[in-house]
């Protein structure tokens, strides 16, 4: 009986966490994210140098790079989509305010 309750509780936790993960990735285009490659960066994680942006893994992205996209207004902040080797797929930056 106890085991059945524990198994049921575990199944519920897994279901809820997978829904949360899916919801977190629902706005990223498939070409950038593939439902797993993107995340919002914490303040200060993305660095800037004279040539462009430097990711947390030390990968440079030039200012004029086509991988740079505008972050949708309803998902503020900086978002990075990268492969496991650190190579950048897309970098989302907030649009400049007028």
The domain ranges of the chain are 28-93
**Cβ-based neighbour number of residue 38 at 10 Å:** 21
Q: What is the pTM of this model?
A: 0.70
* Predicted local confidence at residue 28, as pLDDT: 82
Section 69-85 average pLDDT: 91
Average pLDDT of every residue of the chain: 78
Section 21-27 average pLDDT: 57
The model's pLDDT over 46-68, given as tens digits with 9 standing for 90+, comes to 999 999 999 999 999 999 999 99
Average the pLDDT over each of 14-23, 26-35, 82-91 and give the range with the smallest value.
14-23
Q: How many residues does the chain have?
A: 98
């Amino acid at each position: 009986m106890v085991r059945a309750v524990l198994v049921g509780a575990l199944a519920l936790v897994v279901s809820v966490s997978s829904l949360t993960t899916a919801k977190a990735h629902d706005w990223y285009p498939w070409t950038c994210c593939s439902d797993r490659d993107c995340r919002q960066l914490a303040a200060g994680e993305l660095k800037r140098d004279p040539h462009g942006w430097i990711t947390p893994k030390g990968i440079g992205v030039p200012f004029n790079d086509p991988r740079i996209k505008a972050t949708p207004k309803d998902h503020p902040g900086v978002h990075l989509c990268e492969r496991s080797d650190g190579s950048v797929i897309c970098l989302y930056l907030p649009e400049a305010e007028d």
